[in-house]
Amino acid sequence: MPMPFISKLRSNMASIHYMTLLQCGNVRLWPNSRMDVILGLIVVALIGCSPKPSNSGGAGMVAPTVTVAPAENREVIEHDEFTGRFDAVESVEIRPRVSGYIQEVRFQAGQLVRKGDTLFVIDPRWNQTAFDSTAAELRRASSRLKNLEREAERAEQLLAKNAISVEEVEARRSKLSEARAQEMAAKAAHENARLDLEYTEVKSPIDGRVSRALVTAGNYVSGNSGFNSLLTSVVSQDPIYVYADIDESTYLKLNRLRQAGKLGPTNAPIAVEVGLGDEVGFPTRGEVESFDNRVDANTGSIVVRVRVPNPDGHFLPGLFARLRVPSTAPQLTVLIDENAIGTDQSQKFVLTLTSSNTVAYRPVKLGPSVDGKRIVREGLSAGELVVVNGLLRVQPGMAVQAERATPAPVAAAPTKP
């Protein structure tokens, strides 16, 4: 063939849009025009084809390397997860019982307080004056009562000697009874004044964490019933509750498992796991304290209250909570790594390693995740080797070079008592 034609052909190859796959005479063309087809055939004829390497020479294609791991057989408890909110076991609004001006605030916002700690002091001078006045009135009533008791006693003695009339004795008895009533009234007034004086120190009724002071020193507060001023609030810290809505089916499963004794003793509380929104897993253990007395007909759910220890005040009322409750009894289950799972449209599958070092397609039915692994309900047996790394590099039936995965050290999650 003339050299100018070949040179012209080579110069025009940049404008030819086709793809050529050369493998031992196997030519695939995607032409854009009839001229492209003709020129492509000429190129193939000129270049030729390299001879296919012979397998007999021992230089065949290298099998891809994959990492495999055995399906694990472990006793696990399956769980259902829900969301809820933390709430205090005890919550108290601090209001005064007497009216007056705030003289002193004796706490810092957010401080932990004990039952009986003084939070506010109301100016006690008016109440002290009332207390002293009622004390004097009580002493006068007691003194009058003692005098009338002596007179009544002498009148009884004189009546026995017929030295006094019956009418006079009855008059003294009546005065004595009146004096006793007056002393009782004086005692009641004095006790009321003592309580008012005592209530000038507003104390915390529970152990817990106090909020900020809503009324500062110098302000007048009302202690009248129904119009009491709100001073602050105190919420208990340890333990704390979690409230969550669980569906009816989960409630029924829990009841059946507990009645069958599969979650421990029948009368023992159900153990659950709790975590915050930013925590990994569910590091805190709690127990079901109670269920509500009815299922909501609109939502088909029931409120569960979980008791959680909170000695360090890590949980605050109102925080979002993640709750995990058991849905099965402990049972042997097949577990695999999440990386071993492939998706074929709506079908989940794994690739298993056969005895001839080839991979086989295996459809599986999966359950929930447990400690970073996935439960396999159907399609796989414990001990079978599955591909956990290199899933996209191989196809069913392909020969592979398998390497065992190195077990990762299991780090124990911190668990709050």
Does residue 338 share a domain with residue 260?
no
> What pLDDT score was predicted for residue 259?
86
- pLDDT value for 12: 46
pLDDT digits (tens, 9 = 90+) for 39-61: 555 544 544 444 444 333 344 56
Work out whether strand 112-113 and strand 220-221 pair parallel, antiparallel, or are unpaired: unpaired
Residues 309 and 340 in one domain: no
Q: Are residues 340 and 384 in the same domain?
A: yes
Residues 318 and 350 in one domain: no
Check residue 409 and give its pLDDT.
54
Q: What digits encode the pLDDT tens for the residues 193-220?
A: 999 999 999 999 999 999 999 999 999 9
Give the pLDDT of residue 30: 40
Q: In whole angstroms, give the CA distance from residue 171 to residue 180.
A: 14
Residue 415: its pLDDT value, please?
47
Q: What is the pLDDT of residues 252-289, one digit of tens each?
A: 998 888 888 888 777 888 899 999 989 888 999 999 99
User: Looking at residue 320, which CATH number applies to its domain?
Assistant: 2.40.30.170
Tell me whether residue 95 is in a domain. no
Nearest by Cα to 122 from 105, 106, 101: 101
CB 75 within 8 A of CB 332: yes
Domain membership of residue 116 (yes or no) is no
pTM of the model: 0.67
Same domain, 303 and 337: no
**pLDDT, average across residues 383-387:** 91
Verify that 319 and 335 share a domain, yes or no: no
Give 113's strand partners.
208
pLDDT of 35 reads 52
Q: Residue 6: is its pLDDT beyond 60?
A: no
Using CB atoms within 10 Å of the CB of residue 44, give its burial: 0 to 12 exposed, 13 to 18 middle, 19+ buried: middle
Domain count, the chain: 4
Q: Is the pLDDT of residue 37 over 90?
A: no
- Is position 352 within any domain? yes
In a domain, 92, yes or no: no
pLDDT of 15 reads: 41
At residue 177, the pLDDT reads 92
Query: Residues 306, 270: one domain?
Result: yes
Average pLDDT over residues 322-336: 88
* pLDDT for res 268: 83
* Beta-sheet pairing, 65-70 with 401-404: parallel
In a domain, 247, yes or no: yes
Residue 303 lies in a domain: yes
> Residue 372 belongs to what domain range?
65-74+331-404
Q: What is the pLDDT of residue 265?
A: 79
- Distance (Å, rounded) from C-alpha 285 to C-alpha 31? 68
Confidence band (pLDDT; 50, 70, 90) for 19?
Answer: very low
